[in-house]
Structure 1
Amino acid sequence: MSNPMSSPVSTIKENSNKSIWKESIAPFMSKYGIVFILLAMIIVMSFMSDTFLRTQNILNIVRQISFIGIVAMGVTIVIITTGIDLSSGSVIALTSVLVASVAHPGDSLIGALALGAGIGIACGAVNGIITAKGKIPPFIATLGMMTAARGLALLFSDGRPIPNLSESFMFLGKGVVAGIPVPIIVFILIGIISHILLSKTKFGKYTYAIGGNEHAAKICGINVDRYLIFIYMYAGLLSAIAGMMLTARISVGQPSMGVSFELDAIAAAVIGGTSLSGGVGTIPGTIIGALIIGVLNNSLDLLGVSSYWQQILKGAIIVSAVLIDSRKNKKS
């Protein structure tokens, strides 16, 4: 029953306000809301801690998330196709010990880097082939790789770290160029490359098409199996790059390296707006998601909050992001 006191003018204004919100404000907040959340976190922490906005602390935050961020970019592309990659952490460990074994003083740096890249690509190719050709769910295929790659890392190293790395190799993790740590530089470069690949090329266009509707993509003539294999190979390559930089950072090949990295990478992608239902996601969004995780961890450290709370809050944020994504999908 309508309010007898309402007038046609007030009704028109109310409908106009709803239209403005629906057509302008809501889409804007949906697209850039994650950026405002990051900015809000930074502003709040700048008041709560005098240390937070210092240049060294900001560099530390970005350097710490650069490893997760690089892995998350590959995971983002996989998730866009409605897939998942649980093997990232184990690929990091396998890359770490194998590359450390050929990165001693006097060994070829190019050879070590080529070996690391080859390991990542090979692991990704196996994931892609099992998923695309074997029609095995990505969760199971990459879970198998997660177990196998970790086992291979432990077998090769006998469960022990591999030390004595060359200075040129350790520069990848500890070096500084023009005041900027090398891991940050690599993170930025891979971010640019991945963004161009996903938003400006046929590869990216087909990736979104596969995630949107794989059956329709096949009907349109897209070789879905081939592109899925390439996508998992790219994710494996990025995991290997992160593994090499982490190894260089801690100056030792470590078979236990990368534990839970896959979960943090998935978290960064989901927080950044990548839909687990497929077809939606961006590299800038994933970078923002990784930064939110980094700022959250750093903030809690500065405030003296237990690391256990960091895990709890991270879990809550992930669940909240998935719930928001689920509501968006229902509305659409």
Structure 2
Amino acid sequence: MYSTQGKDSIRTRWSNFSRQYSIFIVLVMMFILFSFLNPNFLSVGNLSNVSRQIAVTTILAFGETILIISGMLDLSSGSVLALSGLISVIAFKATGSMLLAFIVAIVVAVAANLINALMVTKFKTPPFIATLAMQAVARGLALLVTNGQNIYQIGDYVNVGQGSIWFIPTPIIFLVGALVATWYILNQTPFGRSLYA
């Protein structure tokens, strides 16, 4: 009897552990597999490059996580990111101020998402439709402003995505900051806890 209960207890704990941390287990297995397939995969240079590539998408995923928990979704996040980044670069090229460029990016993103929120809450537009429309608007504005061309000669602004502080890539610093902020909002604030209700 004791042996059976012990096995059931171990099986239950393992089931709970694997359910809670399955994504991390898969991630570790992928790292192990890729390191065998390519010995350079775990090199500092490659890990730094991969971290830069995933940082922006992961930060967007944090915002989407909050929306999904609350039963919403946002299809416009990628296009709004592109538009806010574009306007930010233009502001930097015009003024040379990194602080102003950051402020402009935040204002554009907040304004776009405020419109999304008003469409959903005040005008009762389904989130799918509202954010799909914003996606089209943001993407169209970005193409209109640039005339479909790349922007070159952005000076020190390139350090936002390609720079490092000591040996830590700048995007990873933003990623960690966003992770901490998301965790705090969801777990330590009344607003965050109310989203789970």
TM-score, structure 2 length as denominator? Answer: 0.91
| Aligned equivalent of 2:103 | 114
CA deviations on 1:164-201 (whole Å, 9 max, x unpaired) are: 3232x222112111111111111111111111111111
User: Which residue in the other structure is 2:161 paired with?
Assistant: 173
Give the superposition deviation at 1:71: 0.8
**Native 8 Å contact 1:171 1:182 kept in 2:** yes
Gaps of 5+ in 1: 1-8, 210-332
Distance of 1:52 and 1:107 partners within structure 2: 37
Note the 1:167-246 alignment, pairs <5 A: 167=156, 169-209=157-197
CA offset digits 1:136-176 (Å, max 9, x no partner):
22111111111111111122222223333232x22211211
- Checking the alignment, whether the CA contact within 8 Å between 1:105 and 1:164 is kept in structure 2 is no
Q: In structure 2, how many angstroms separate the alpha carbons of the residues matched to 1:165 and 1:61?
A: 23
Q: Percent identity?
A: 35
Specify the code of the residue in structure 2 equivalent to 1:183.
P
Match of 1:317 in 2: none
Residue 62 of structure 1 pairs with residue 60 of structure 2: no
- Is residue 11 of structure 2 the alignment partner of residue 21 of structure 1? yes
What is the CA-CA distance between 1:106 and the residue it aligns to? 4.6
Paired residue type of 2:54: I
How many angstroms apart in 2 are the aligned matches of 1:42 and 1:202? 37
Residue in 2 aligned with 1:222? none
Q: Which runs of 5+ in 2 are unaligned?
A: none
Provide the rounded CA distance (Å) in 1 between the counterparts of 2:10 and 2:167.
46
Task: Check the 8 A contact 2:52/2:161 in 1, yes or no.
Answer: no
Of 59, 73, 77, which residue of structure 2 is paired with 1:88?
Answer: 77
Superposed CA offset, 1:56-94 (max 9, x none)? 111111111001111111111111111111101211221
1:136 aligns with 2:125: yes
C-alpha offsets along residues 281-314 of structure 1, whole Å, 9 cap, x if unaligned? xxxxxxxxxxxxxxxxxxxxxxxxxxxxxxxxxx
Moved more, 188-197 or 66-75: 188-197
Query: Is the CA contact 1:97–1:161 (under 8 Å) kept in the aligned structure 2?
Result: no
**1:60 to 1:162, Cα distance in 2 relative to 1, 3 A:** closer
Pairwise CA RMSD: 1.9
- Number of matched pairs: 197
Q: Within 1, Cα distance between the matches of 2:167 and 2:33?
A: 27
Distance 1:58 1:163 in 2: 27
Residues of 1 paired with 2:63 and 2:169: CA distance? 22
Q: How has the CA–CA distance of structure 1 residues 173 and 20 changed in structure 2, closer, same or farther, with 3 Å as cutoff? A: closer
Q: Distance in 2 between matches of 1:62 and 1:38?
A: 14
Tell me, in whole angstroms, the C-alpha distance in 2 between the residues paired with 1:106 and 1:204: 37
Higher RCO (Cα < 8 Å, 6 or more apart): 1
